[in-house]
Amino acid sequence: MSTDALQLAAELGQNDAHRRQAAAERLATMAEEAAPAAVVLVSASGDEDDVVREWAVSALEGMGPPPESALPELVTLLDAEHSDVIYWAATLLGRLEDRAADASAALSAAAAKVENAAAKKRIAWALGKTQQ
């Protein structure tokens, strides 16, 4: 992980909302270079602070696929309570395409229990991408 992304990912774990906002905003400007912070950004998509959530989503939208090493943690995030976290975990798994084929069972299990329509649709999309 680049030093910048590593430091910013750590900032996203702080209690101070302003620090989390600044970190998420900076990660949003990094495009693909933010990918090493993918798991932390997915978690931040469910942050209690609206600004943090918005910047985290912006970063996730612009980053492309996550590193393959993030796969186990992304699978774990499919069990999150916040539907946006589930949505983004599924999105990043789908971006890994066949490299995330091992996540298919977890995606199927998440689809069976998630109630949010957008998250359910994204899980179905990810299943299609990972099983190509």
How far apart (Å, rounded) are the C-alpha atoms in residues 128 and 132?
6
CA 55/CA 28 separation, integer angstroms: 6
Tens of pLDDT, residue by residue over 41-76, are: 999 999 999 999 999 999 999 999 999 999 999 999
For residue 42, CA distances in Å to 33, 98, 131, 132 come to: 15, 20, 22, 24
Task: Point out the residues of the chain with pLDDT beneath 70.
Answer: 1-3, 132
Check residue 56 and give its pLDDT.
98
Q: Pull the structure tokens for residue 85.
A: 């976290």
Q: What is the pTM of this model?
A: 0.95
Mind listing the domains of the chain with CATH numbers? Answer: 1-64 (1.25.10.10), 69-132 (1.25.10)
